[in-house]
A and B are shown apart, each in its own frame.
Chain A
Amino acid sequence: MSSNDPTKLIEQYLERVRVYLPLDSEDAIVELQTHLIEEAQRIGGGTMTAGSAMMAIERMGDPKRVANEYAGSGKKVGPVPAEYVNPVSRIIILLLGVGAAFTIGLSLIGVTITQLFGADIQNWPFSIPLMIFLNLFILFVIIGGLSLLDRDKPLTEKTTLESIFGIGVDGFKAKGRWDAAGDFIMGVFWGVVISIPSIVILYTDAFKALYIYVVIFLFLGAIRGALFYFGGENNFNLAVEAFLSVVWIALAVILIDVGWPIRYVYNFNGSTWALFDLEGFFLSNDIPFVPFDWIWIFIMFVTVVISVWRIFASSMKISMYLRAGKRLWWQGNWGERRRLRAPLWRRFLGEHDQFQQKDTVYHDGYREPEEEQ
């Protein structure tokens, strides 16, 4: 979908470039963004218009090539062309990570992958190579078809393939600052709530013996949130996240056997609050307690899947940062993307993007002359 808003055109084009760049390339994006704005302003004689932005984008060229030149990999890996190495490896890692997370999560709740769809897969594990081959074949046919359909799209519009690759970019985005603040607040809040004596008396005996470890874990999670809030994404914080995820998986292995942790609920009998034996009620009325156990298993499954993914993503990012020469601690970012346009609420209040009226003035005072028509 083409737009008449020059800033939107530039953002859309940079979104395409981002797909082909390595992770942690926000600096490169900002540098290219400034280049495009200044070039568009120069072409437009000091004002950026949709036409001048489009011309600047066309001069910069194909996003794949721009990203590859900027990232400077320039090497093809196996059958994968150089410009596709970053997005393809990222999406493969994402799929592997998600696969590993679900496999571990499922095995924790006692389901093997061969039973996943209700019936055992025949000839396991000898059917694996055939399944991989068939899936790859189908994938290549789909990718080929999608690429043919996308041939005539403008430079500012993502191709279908790039939209798929974009999942890889979002999957590894750094934790947002407000997410980190949320982790801190929720960690402290739930840590306090589940250790209040009037709440503790509601637990089953098995959970009572263990709840303190959950409280400690929640407080550690709050510390992790605070670290991310102040330090952004860096190797120390990622290592803390990976460590806590390992701890949680170990804890979940024990907690899953404990089963649904709440035995009593508070019941108001007209004058006072009394304890009502939830489990006893179900059992004495011959109602299976199974749904609560299922809910508990589901909660454990989801949290373990998230933890495995965190271990996977953290390890990958730490190795990436180490390769880039970074050490343990630095002021990292929070996964934010620099937006060219003012947020909707500011535009609603009448605030416009300022740069459209600004000329390019270099640091030594030199002013870009208007382009001759």
Chain B
Amino acid sequence: MMYSTLLRTLLKEVNTVSMSKKTQEELDRWSKEVKRGAVTLAILALLSKRKAYGYEAVKLLDAKMSFLALEQGTVYPLLRRLEQRELLRSEWDYEDPTKPKKYYAVTDEGSMALSEMSKAWTNLSREIQAVLTEVE
């Protein structure tokens, strides 16, 4: 009797662990998808307030948005793509010749895109919040 209780408890523990691992995996997958959409908005929002060069942008994003956990491997290619899509423009600053800096700033097109994306994000957040409140 005592052994069967112990076995049941052990099985329950194993089940809990496997469930949490699965949940963790699901959370990771979901986070990745959310980040993918949010990172463009975050960079545009950041650069709409002030121009910044690559390293500066990486550090600012890292300090302000821990959830996004952005690294240079994500930020630099995204800056480059946004520049190619003409949402950002860049200019080189050679004031310190040992560390030339490529400054990025939002273009007019980028500002308009940011404005629309912000509205869409606000709507989405509000609606998601409403759904979550109903669930709770």
Binding site for B on A (CB under 8 A): 27-28, 30-35, 37-39, 60-61, 65-66, 69-70, 72, 338, 340, 353-355, 358, 362-364, 368
Query: Do the beta carbons of B98 and A353 come within 8 Å of each other?
Result: yes
Known pairs A34-B53, A72-B80, A72-B81; A358 contacts B96 (CB<8 A) = yes
Which chain B residues numbered 74 to 97 have a C-beta less than 8 Å away from chain A?
74, 76-77, 80-81, 93, 96
Residue of A whose beta carbon sits closest to that of B93: A363
Complex CA–CA separation, A355 to B102 (angstroms): 17
Query: Do the beta carbons of B102 and A31 come within 8 Å of each other?
Result: yes
Residues of B with C-beta under 8 A to A33: 99
12 pairs of residues in contact across A and B, judged by CB atoms under 8 Å: A28-B76, A30-B100, A31-B102, A34-B102, A35-B55, A38-B55, A65-B73, A66-B73, A69-B73, A72-B77, A354-B98, A368-B59
Query: Which of B72, B76, B80, B103 is packed against the most chain A CB atoms within 10 Å?
Result: B72
Residues of B with C-beta under 8 A to A65: 73
Known pairs A31-B102, A37-B99; A69 contacts B77 (CB<8 A) = yes
Residue of B whose beta carbon sits closest to that of A361: B96
Residues of B with C-beta under 8 A to A39: 55
Residue of B whose beta carbon sits closest to that of A71: B77
> Per-residue CB proximity of B61-75 to A under 8 Å, as 1/0?
000000000001110
Query: Do the beta carbons of A364 and B98 come within 8 Å of each other?
Result: no
Query: Do the beta carbons of B56 and A27 come within 8 Å of each other?
Result: no
**Cβ contact of A27, chosen from B74, B102, B103, cutoff 8 A:** B102
Is B51 positioned at the interface, with any CB of A under 8 Å from its CB? yes
Query: Do the beta carbons of B56 and A37 come within 8 Å of each other?
Result: no
Query: Do the beta carbons of B96 and A355 come within 8 Å of each other?
Result: yes
> Per-residue CB proximity of B21-58 to A under 8 Å, as 1/0?
00000000000000000000000000000111111101
Residue of A whose beta carbon sits closest to that of B84: A325
Query: Do the beta carbons of A34 and B76 come within 8 Å of each other?
Result: no
Complex CA–CA separation, A362 to B103 (angstroms): 11
5 further A-B pairs in the complex, CB-CB below 8 A; given A32-B76, A338-B100: A35-B58, A72-B77, A358-B99, A363-B51, A363-B93
Residues of B with C-beta under 8 A to A340: 98
Residues of B with C-beta under 8 A to A368: 59
Query: Which of A28, A35, A358 is packed against the most chain B CB atoms within 10 Å?
Result: A35
**Cβ contact of A31, chosen from B52, B74, B76, cutoff 8 A:** B76
Complex CA–CA separation, A65 to B72 (angstroms): 12
**Cβ contact of A355, chosen from B53, B73, B76, B99, cutoff 8 A:** B99
Query: Do the beta carbons of A70 and B99 come within 8 Å of each other?
Result: no
Known pairs A27-B102, A72-B81; A34 contacts B73 (CB<8 A) = no
Complex CA–CA separation, A39 to B59 (angstroms): 10
Query: Do the beta carbons of B54 and A60 come within 8 Å of each other?
Result: no
Query: Do the beta carbons of A70 and B98 come within 8 Å of each other?
Result: no
Query: Which of B54, B74, B93, B103 is packed against the most chain A CB atoms within 10 Å?
Result: B54
Query: Do the beta carbons of A60 and B72 come within 8 Å of each other?
Result: yes
Query: Which of A32, A38, A61, A354 is packed against the most chain B CB atoms within 10 Å?
Result: A38
Complex CA–CA separation, A362 to B51 (angstroms): 11
Residues of A with C-beta under 8 A to B53: 34, 363
Complex CA–CA separation, A338 to B92 (angstroms): 14
Query: Which of B96, B99, B102 is packed against the most chain A CB atoms within 10 Å?
Result: B99
Query: Do the beta carbons of A31 and B54 come within 8 Å of each other?
Result: yes
Residues of A with C-beta under 8 A to B102: 27, 30-31, 34
Residues of B with C-beta under 8 A to A364: 50
Residues of A with C-beta under 8 A to B93: 363
Q: Which 5 A-B pairs have the closest CB atoms?
A: A355-B98, A34-B99, A35-B55, A38-B55, A69-B73
Residues of B with C-beta under 8 A to A72: 77, 80-81
Known pairs A30-B100, A34-B100, A355-B98; A70 contacts B54 (CB<8 A) = no
Complex CA–CA separation, A39 to B62 (angstroms): 13
